[in-house]
Structure 1
Amino acid sequence: MPLFDRFYAPPLRLLGALLFLLLIPSVQASEVVRIAAASDLRYALDDIIELYHQAHADARIEVIYGSSGKMTTQIINGAPYDMFFSADIAFAHKLEEKGMAATEPAVYAIGRIVLWSNTLDAAGLTLADLTSDAIKRIAIAQPAHAPYGLRAREAMQSAGIWEAVQGKLVFAENIAHAAQMTQSGAAEVGIIALSLARFPELEKYGYYLIDDTLHQPLTQGYVVTRRGAKKPEVWAFADFMATDQAHASMLHYGFVIPE
C-alpha cells in the first residue's frame, strides 16, 4: 500500500462517514410531556409511567405532584402542563369551564382515606379515638384546596368529632405532606390517602380504612390541557391510562376503578 494511502486513507474514510451522517435527517427527541398530578398519585403514577416506558422507551414524562386546588390555579395562570390529574373531578371541570381543557373531564379512579400512624397501632383506631388525650396532633391536608383534606373534614364531621379535635389539627399543603408530617413525628396520627398508606414503607405499620359513607366520594378525574393537545405523546399516555396494566397498578394502591 502506498505511503500516502496508509497515512491519509483513514481520515478520508472518516470524512466520508461524517458527510453521510450529515445527509441523514435528524431524529428529534420526543417532546416532554408535563403532568400536574394530585399527591395521592405519587406512587401509583410513578409505577404507571415506568410501565409506559417499557413500550415507549423514548418517552419523556415529567410529573409535578401537589394539591389539586393549587395546581388548578397554576394552570389557569399559565403553568405549562399538558395533562392534569385531579383528586377531585370538580377541579378538572373548572379548567373545562375556563376553556383550558382540550378534553372533557374523565374519571380515572375513586380514592379512599385512612387513619395512619407509625407510632400507634392505627389498624386498631377509629375516628372516635382521635378525641383521646393520648393523641395530641392529627395531620390532615388543608381542606381549602386539597380534596383529601376536605373529605377528612367531612368524615370527622359525620363522626361527630370535628369540633372536639380542632385544637389538635395540623394542616399540610397536600395529602403527601400530611403523610410526611405523620411519618416525621409532627403528628401522632394522619388522615391520608389509602394509595399512600399502601406504599410498602408505610403499609408495614398498618392503617384503618375510613367508612366511605362518612364523606362525599373522592371521584378523581383528568383532562388534557389545550397546551397538551398539540403533543401526540400526550394522547398516547392518555390511552395507556385506560389499559389493564394501568388499572392493575391503580388497584394495587387501593384505588377503585369505576365500571
Structure 2
Amino acid sequence: MKRFTYLLTFLLLSLIIFSGCMNPENTGLSSDHLNHSPELTVAAAADLKFAFTEIGKLFEKATNSKLIFSFGSTGQLTDQIENGAPFDVIAAANIEYVDRLRSKNMIIDDTQQIYGVGRIGLATLKTNPIEVQTLNDLLKPEIKKIAIANPEHAPYGIAARQALESAGLWEKVKEKLVYGKNISDTLILIETGNADAGIIALSISKNEKINFYLIDDTLHTPIKQAIAVVKGSKQEDLARSFINYVNSKEGRAIMKKYGFILPEEN
C-alpha cells in the first residue's frame, strides 16, 4: 500500500512540474513571444510617411502582422540596402533607384511595381506675410531662404531643381537654398521658420500650418514611384502581400487621398 501511495505521489508531482514547464511564465518566454506576429521591415521614401502609416495600420489588422517603417530619402535607403541593411521591402520615390537595385540583383524582379506618381509644390507658413504662389515669387528679396530636399539623394529634391532650372531660376535662387535630408525634413525647415519658403511633396502638404501651391508638372521629370521586395527577405510572402495591398482598391484610395496620381491615371 505504501509503495502505491509513493508512486501516486510521484506521478502527481511530475504532472505538476510538467504543467509548470508548459506555462510561458516558467519557460522564460512571454505569451507574446509564443503568439509572435510576423514583422515586415519597409524602407520607404519620406513622402510616404502619412499614406503608408495609414495603409500600414489596415494591413497589420488584416494580416495580424507588424510593419516597421524606416522613412528617409530614397537615395540613402538604397545605399543602406546595397550595404546589407535587412529590409524586406523598398518603396522608392523614384523608379530609377529600384531599377538600380534590380541591376545589382538585389530585388525580386517580378515584385517591382509602380504605385504612384508624385507632385511637388510651393509651401510657406500661413503666418508668413510674404505671398509665394509661383516659382517667380521666390525671387522676392524678402525670401531669404528656400528649402528643398537634397537633390544629391532625394528624388523630390531632384524634381525641385529641375523645375527651378526649367523656369530659368536655379542660378538666381541658388544662394538662397537650404537642403533638407529628405522631403519630411524639408517641411520641418519651413514649419520651424528656418526657411521662408520651400518646395515639398503634395503628399505631405495636408498641414494646417502651411499654404501650398502646385508646380506645373511639365517643368520636371515625372516622379514615378516604385516598390519591390528586397532579395533575401525572410518574409517574402508577407512582403508580396504588402505590395499587393498598396496597389489594392483600399490602398489606392489612401494613396489618392494624399495626392498621388495612380499608375493607371498617369
User: Aligned partners of 1:123 and 1:46: how far apart in 2?
Assistant: 32
User: Separation in 1 of the partners of 2:145 and 2:117?
Assistant: 28
- Displacement, 1:21? 6.5
Which consecutive residues of structure 2, in runs of 5 or more, have no partner in the other structure? 1-11, 25-32
- SS of the residue 2:263 aligns to: coil
* Aligned equivalent of 1:88, options 81, 87, 94: 94
Q: How many residues are paired up?
A: 246
Q: Distance in 2 between matches of 1:107 and 1:50?
A: 21
Residue 53 of structure 2 aligns with an amino acid whose one-letter code is D
Instruction: Answer with 1 or 2: which has the greater Rg.
Output: 2
Aligned to 1:115: 122
Q: Report Cα offsets for 1:101-141 as digits up to 9, x if no partner.
A: 11343111000001111133788511000000011100000
Spell out the pairing of 1:189-200 with structure 2 (5 A cutoff).
189-198=197-206
User: Residue 52 of structure 1 aligns with which residue?
Assistant: 59
Scaled by the length of structure 1, what TM-score is found?
0.87
| Partner residue in 2 for 1:4 | none
Percent identity over the alignment is 37
Give the secondary-structure state (helix, strand or coil) at the position aligned to 2:210: coil
Q: Contact 2:98/2:227 (CA < 8 Å) preserved in 1?
A: yes
Distance apart, 1:13 and its partner CA: 8.2
Q: CA deviation at 1:220?
A: 0.3
SS in 2 for 1:81: coil
Instruction: Provide the aligned C-alpha RMSD in A.
Output: 2.6
1:156 to 156, 164, 169: 164
Q: Does residue 1:61 correspond to 2:67, yes or no?
A: yes
Report the alpha carbon displacement of residue 54 of structure 1 after superposing the two structures with TM. 2.4
Structure 1: which amino acid aligns with 2:120? Answer: I
What CA distance in whole angstroms lies between the structure 2 residues aligned with 1:53 and 1:135?
44
Give TM-score scaled by structure 2 length: 0.84
Report the 3-state secondary structure (helix = DSSP H, G, I; strand = E; otherwise coil) of the residue aligned with 1:228.
coil
Structure 1 residue 252: deviation in Å?
Answer: 0.6
Q: Secondary structure at the match of 2:36?
A: coil
Q: Which residue of 2 aligns with 1:139?
A: 147
The aligned residue for residue 183 of structure 1 is 191
- Which letter does structure 2 place at the counterpart of 1:51? L
Cα distance in 1 between the residues matched to 2:208 and 2:129:
12
- Distance in 2 between the 1:117 and 1:68 partners? 24
